[in-house]
Amino acid sequence: MLLNRVAKLAAVPILALLGLAAASGEPAGSAARATAALPRFDHVVIALFENKNYSDIAGDNGSASYIKSLASQGTLFTNAFGVTHPSQPNYLALFSGSQQGVTGDSCPVDSQADNLGQQLLKAGKTFKGYSEGLPKAGYTGCSSGRYVRKHAPWVDFPTVKGAEYNVPYSAFPSDYSKLPTVSFVIPDMCNDMHDCSIKTGDSWLKSHLDGYAQWAKTHNSLLIATFDEDNFTSVNQICTLFVGDHVKAGYRSGTQINHYNVLRTLEDMYGLPALGKASGKQPISDTWATATGGH
């Protein structure tokens, strides 16, 4: 009799937790994800570059000297891949867990699907996309000078395409503590290495985001630098690296990942449901030196 009463009392916290999850509209699994052994960063910045093979960037003979230096300060993923060709569906995959039926670079794309930005806002977090060359906040045109919408996936979703979320890179704050929870940084078609050299993009990353990368190491923040796809080989291997607080320094991870793993990691980090094909991927776990419950 006493054992039965103890068993019932022990079950109360579990039942209460499940009840709270149901009452809030969150899947029961999201509570488990929120307490998983992943850091919960105050700020994550994802910078995307274009169409370069892993070997040309971070390989032994790679020419991206700053990126290689940055990788030595954090974790370099030696087995990272894009999910398809050409560019646009890779950006959509990273942002929404699906290519959204897109197989090319035609513009515009308009989707009502859920996405990372929308998920963050629903969870009380913040999101913003910073695009170099964007002529004005909230601009939804397909191109302007060296800016192209196909590299700014949030513009394809009505919930996060407005002027509050879709802003020029010139709005990127010098006080990094004012950054949103998660932000994307998209260089223009030259500085992302699409139309210009690896050296050009490498120098742009150093001059524009090294300050944030160094600050992130001691401010519970993270920089993710990655590429959409390789230079149209069948392998589609890309350079991806993490630098920041709680990240192993000088670590080379051989874990196979793609854009869906990165999205799943961000979603698990903030206790968000996994979208689309991210639900079938594991979050990245081997890069973390320490974990934190967040702030």
**Could you give all domains of the chain from N- to C-terminal order, each with its CATH number?**
1-35 (no CATH), 40-280 (3.40.720.10)
CA distances from 119 to 222, 247, 268 (A): 19, 24, 12
Neighbours of 134 (CB within 10 A): 25
Cis peptide before 86 (omega within 30 of 0): yes
> Residue 268 carries which side chain, given as an amino acid letter?
D
Q: Which two tokens stand for residue 160?
A: 């996060």
The answer to whether the beta carbons of residues 240 and 92 sit under 8 Å apart is: no
Share of the chain above pLDDT 90, in %: 85
Helix (H) or strand (E) holding 129: strand 127-131
pLDDT beyond 50 at 161: yes
Measured at the alpha carbon of residue 174, what is the angle toward residues 170 and 180, in degrees to the nearest 5? Answer: 80
pLDDT digits (tens, 9 = 90+) for 42-59: 999 999 999 999 999 999
- In eight-state DSSP terms, residue 282 is P
Helix 87-96 crosses helix 259-269 at what angle (to 10 degrees)?
A: 20
Strand, helix or coil at 24?
coil
Decide: residue 261, CB within 10 A, 0-12 exposed, 13-18 middle, 19+ buried: buried
Say what the pLDDT of residue 290 is.
72
pLDDT in tens, 174-186: 999 999 999 999 9
Alpha carbons 6 and 214: distance in angstroms, whole number? 51
Residue 23 burial (10 A CB sphere; 0-12, 13-18, 19+): exposed
Is the per-residue pLDDT at 24 higher than 60?
Answer: no
Residue from 242, 253, 238, 283 nearest 55 by CA:
238
Residue ranges of alpha helices (H) inside the chain are 2-23, 28-34, 54-57, 65-72, 87-96, 116-122, 198-216, 259-269
Confidence class for position 37, pLDDT limits 50, 70, 90 = confident
Q: Is the pLDDT of residue 230 over 70?
A: yes
Q: Which two tokens stand for residue 108?
A: 């515009």
The answer, yes or no, to whether residue 25 has pLDDT greater than 70, is no
Residue 142 has a pLDDT of 98
Give the model's pLDDT for residue 35: 37
Q: Please give the Cα distance from 88 to 289 (Å, whole number).
A: 33
Q: Residue 291 — pLDDT band, cuts 50, 70, 90? A: low
What phi, psi does 131 have (nearest 5°)? -115, 125
pLDDT at position 15 is 35
Q: What is the mean pLDDT of residues 134-153?
A: 98
- The CA-to-CA distance between both ends of the chain, in Å, stands at 43
> Tokens 């030196």 sit at which residue?
289
Q: Which of 186, 196, 201 is nearest to 154 (CA)?
A: 186
Taking a C-beta distance cutoff of 8 angstroms, is the pair 239, 53 a contact? no
Q: Do residues 101 and 111 lie in contact, with contact meaning Cβ atoms separated by under 8 Å? A: no
d(CA 226, CA 8): 50
